[in-house]
Structure formats: structure tokens, C-alpha cells
A and B are shown apart, each in its own frame.
Chain A
Amino acid sequence: MTLRSKGRWITWFGLLLLAGVYVRAIAFTPVEASQGGAQKIFYLHVPAAWSTMLAMGLVGLASILYLLMKDDRFDRFAACSAEVGTAFACVMLTTGPLWARPVWGTWWTWDARLTLTLFLFFIFLGYQLLRGAVAEPGARARYSAVLGIFGLVLLPFIHLSVYLFRTLHPQPIVLKPSAPSLPGAMLVTLLYGFATFTVLYVGFVMQRYAIATEDAHVG
């Protein structure tokens, strides 16, 4: 089986899991007391944010590996991961306002994490604009690897400013020093969402990578 068709199968599997996320979130997860039904979008929004971060992390990692080993496959992978990350960032940035409107009373607020995930989206866009503007493959790989690493290093600064800037955003509820404060049934749905979006990420990147490899051989 080719990489492309494997990727397609994994994507179909991910989409099936995604249908499961909807079913579980709507029918089998308790309604949050203060936010009501609107909170259900949480099970898509947070996993999408996770996949965006995962994509950025792997762009950075692949960029480091590219600079160390000068293997074109890492460069190709970073490019694909950035594209897929942009797509997940779009999901995150559309589901966020949809949730914010009923709960915070505003579509958008310049809260720290919102602002900075928006800028993460801009880094992805800049990364792709740069790739599009450099014609020579070697220079393109080098330049984008440098930008990829810088983008990854910017992330901790993004995270730090969450704590410093006055913020409306919920504080971290799963990955934090003390035990997760999310009730069990909700936590299971959320973790299921994380798994689903990770599978989707893998499926998308595999397909995109297969296309990029074909491109490289043709071009």
C-alpha cells in the first residue's frame, strides 16, 4: 500500500472517530452547569488547538533535524506539518469565537492566549509565504528551517504570557502541576477528542507528504 492510500485510510478512520466525538460529547457527556450546551464545542476546540501546537512542535523538531542532517525529507515533512497546522489553526480560531460569544458575551477578545494563538497562526502563514517566495530548494529549506525553529522557541514565551497578562481564558485544567480539575466523564471525552485530532493530523500529514514526495520527484 502506498503512503498516500495509507494516509487516506487513517484519515477516514480519524473522521469516523470524529463522528464518535460528536456523539459522545452531545449524548454521553454531562452538560456543564454554568455554560450549558455551548460548552460542548470545547471537545473540538481544545483538541484542534492541541493539533495546532503539535504541528508547530513537529515543524520545529523537523527543522532542527534538517539543519543537523540536511536531509530533504525533514524539510518536506516540516512543510507538510505547517500546512496541516494551518488548517487546524483555522478550526481552533473559528470554534473559539463560536464558544466565546455565548459564554463570554463577545466573539473576540484580546485576551492573552487568543492573541498569541492568532500570532501562532500568523507564524504558520509567514512560514508558508516565505517558502513560496524562495525559489531555490536549498535556500528555501534552510530559511524555513530557521524560521521553524524560531517559531518553536516563541511558543514558551506565548505560554508564559498567559500567566502574566490579565486573562479571560480558562486556566489550564488538564496539564498542570496538580491533578486535572475536569470531571471524569468530560475528561474522557476530551482525551478522546485529543486522540481523534492526533489521528487526523497523522492522516493529513501522510497524504500531504506523499504528494510532496511525488512533487519533488517530478519537479
Chain B
Amino acid sequence: MGELLRDAWVVARKDLALELRTRVGLISAVVFTALVLTVFNFGRDPTAVGVLDLAPSILWVTFTFAGMLSLNRAFQLELENQALEGLLISPIDRRSLYLGKLAANLVFVGLVEAVGLPLFALFFNVPVWDILAPLAAVIAVATIGFVAVGTLFSALVIRVRFAELMLPVLLLPFLIPPLVGAVQVTSRLFSHRPLSEVEGWLKLLLAYDLVFVSLASLLFPTTVDE
């Protein structure tokens, strides 16, 4: 177990070092998030729909879209110079490879969300400060779920024609449970309802994370098996 996590950390550190040195992917994803939020502002009639009614959807559609676009790069960057083959013959457990990619993706998407959330609060004048801790927790739980599935699927579409299009087509149905759950919980948080009202959704979100992280690390070795 210790070795598994240590190797995963090596893979994650490699990906993050690559990302932080070029910063192209990260900055593009942040700019994309800001743009989507702007588009949402002009995509509604402010006199007809109250912002609080729409806020949870705006937040989550933006996050899932930004997350989905970021996921493509995880394995795409390994295609150059057959880097993936190199990774696969390196003496590490393939589950470590998956967990490392997952961790790097989570940091990447987490950073995008960390910039996106204040922008969202600013643009839509939603007070998030006093519910920041539970909101961040919900964001984390929902993000882990969809990034876990997305990381595996991005390995699956790597050699497929139209990979950029195939990933969202395969992934979106799997985003529905975390998305619905996150929107439900977020809207209760925004209207200052007690969390006990959404206990079922929280359990569903946690179960989703647990099931899909385990399943994806179990199936990843066969997926990349040549």
C-alpha cells in the first residue's frame, strides 16, 4: 500500500511539474471557466430569474465543463514520443499510474475551481464566505467522483478518433449523479437550509466516490494493457 501511494505520488508530481512549468493548460482552463461564467450571465434574463435560483446550476455546469476539458490532457500528453509505453514498462504498479494521474487531475481541476469559485461569487453576487467550509467540502466530494471516472475514460479514448468529442459523450451520463447531488446540496447551502435535509444526497455522493474510485483503479490495468 505504501509503495502504491509512493509511486502514485511520483507520477502525480511528474504531471504537475510539467503542468506548472508550461502553465498553458492551467491558464487556458481558468480563462475558459471565467468565460463560461460570463456567458451564463448573458444567457439569462436578470429581471425574470433570480440569481440565487440559478446559481447552483451555473456553478456546477461551469465546473463540470471545465473539468471535462481538462481531463483530456492527462493521457494526451503521454502520446508524444510514446511516453505512455515508457510509463507502462516502468516498474510501477499500474494502479499507481492511475492514482497518480487521478491525483494530478484533482489538483488541476481543484486549482481551476479555486479560481472559479471567487469569480462566481463576484460575478453573481452570491455570498459564499459564511458557507465556505461546507461548500468546499461538497465541491471536493463531487469533483473526486467525476474526475475518477473521467481519468479512466481519458485513458480509454486516447487512441480513438475524435477523442476530444468522445470523452464528453462517454462521460456526461456518468456526471449526472454527482452533478444532481452537488446541485441539490449547493442550493440548500445557498439558501442556508440545514445539511440534514440533504443527508441522502451526501451519502449518494460519497458512495459514488467510493465505488467509482475503487472500480476505476481496479479496471485501469486492463484498460491500458497492450
A12 proximal to B (CB < 8 A): no
Q: Are A146 and B222 in contact (CB under 8 A)?
A: yes
Alpha-carbon distance between A143 and B132 when the two chains are bound, in angstroms:
39
B170 partner residues in chain A, CB cutoff 8 A: 126, 129-130, 147
A184–chain B nearest beta-carbon distance, Å: 34
Task: Please tell me if the beta carbons of A67 and B156 are within 8 angstroms of each other in the complex.
Answer: no
Do A164 and B161 have beta carbons less than 8 Å apart?
Answer: no
Q: Pick the contact of A154 from B152, B173, B207 — CB < 8 Å?
A: B173
A149 at the interface (CB under 8 A from B): yes
Expressed in whole angstroms, the minimum distance between the Cβ of B94 and any Cβ of chain A is 13
List which B194-224 residues lie within 8 A (CB) of chain A.
Answer: 200-201, 204, 207-208, 211-212, 215, 219, 222-223
Indicate whether A123 reaches chain B with its CB closer than 8 angstroms.
Answer: yes
Q: Is the CB of A153 within 8 A of B156?
A: no
Question: Quick one: CB contact mask for A120-156 with B, threshold 8 Å, 1 for yes?
Answer: 1011011001100110000100110111011001100
Residues of A within 8 A of B161 (CB): 133
- Whether, in the assembled complex, B174 has its beta carbon less than 8 Å from a beta carbon of chain A, the answer is yes
Question: Do A147 and B204 touch across chains, with their CB atoms under 8 A apart?
Answer: no
Contacts A133-B161, A161-B177, A164-B200 known; A122 to B172 CB distance under 8 Å? yes
Residues of B within 8 A of A115 (CB): 176
> Do A142 and B173 form a contact, CB below 8 Å, given A133-B160, A150-B149, A164-B200?
no
A164: chain B residues within 8 A (beta carbon):
184, 200-201, 204
B89 within 8 Å of A (CB atoms): no
Distance from A61 Cβ to chain B, minimum over Cβ atoms (Å): 15
| Neighbour of B223 across the interface among A122, A126, A130, A143, CB < 8 A | A143
Q: Please determine whether A126 and B173 come into contact, CB atoms closer than 8 angstroms.
A: yes
Question: How many residues of chain A are within 8 Å of chain B by beta carbon?
Answer: 30
Chain A contacts for B180, CB-based, 8 A: 161, 165
- Which residues from chain A contact B169 at a C-beta distance below 8 Å? 122, 125-126, 129
B159 within 8 A of A: yes
1/0 contact string of A67-107 vs chain B (CB within 8 Å): 10000000000000000000000000000000000000000
Q: In whole angstroms, what is the CA distance A153 to B157 when docked?
A: 20
When distances are taken between beta carbons in the complex, the residues of chain A under 8 Å from B3 are none
List B contacts of A153 (CB < 8 A): 211-212, 215
> Are B225 and A142 within 8 A (Cβ)?
yes
Within 8 A of A (CB), among B144-188: 149, 152-153, 156-157, 159-162, 166, 169-170, 172-174, 176-177, 180, 184
Given contacts A67-B222, A139-B159, A161-B204, contact A146 B152 (CB under 8 A): yes
In the assembled complex, the CB of B220 is this many whole angstroms from the nearest CB of chain A, namely 9
Q: Quick one: CB contact mask for A158-174 with B, threshold 8 Å, 1 for yes?
A: 10110111000000000
Structural contact, A149 and B156, CB atoms closer than 8 A? no
Whether B173 lies near A146 (C-beta < 8 A) is no
- B176 with A129: CB separation less than 8 A: no
- The reply to whether A142 and B215 form a contact with Cβ atoms under 8 Å apart is no
Interface check A116, CB cutoff 8 A: yes
Could you tell me the distance in whole angstroms from the C-beta of A128 to the nearest C-beta in chain B? 11
- The answer to whether A130 touches B166 (Cβ under 8 A) is yes
Q: Given the known A-B contacts A154-B177, A157-B177, A157-B208, are A146 and B219 also in contact in the complex, defined by CB atoms under 8 Å?
A: yes
Q: How far is the CA of A126 from the CA of B153 in the complex (A)?
A: 12
Q: Is the CB of A143 within 8 A of B177?
A: no
Note all chain A residues with C-beta closer than 8 A to B215: 149-150, 153
The answer to the question of A119 belonging to the interface, with a C-beta cut-off of 8 Å to chain B, is yes
9 contacts between A and B (CB under 8 A): A119-B172, A133-B166, A139-B159, A142-B222, A146-B152, A149-B219, A153-B215, A161-B177, A164-B204
Chain B interface residues (CB < 8 Å from chain A) = 149, 152-153, 156-157, 159-162, 166, 169-170, 172-174, 176-177, 180, 184, 200-201, 204, 207-208, 211-212, 215, 219, 222-223, 225
For the complex of A and B, list the 6 residue pairs with the smallest distance between their C-beta atoms, beginning with the closest: A119-B173, A133-B160, A157-B177, A126-B170, A122-B173, A164-B200
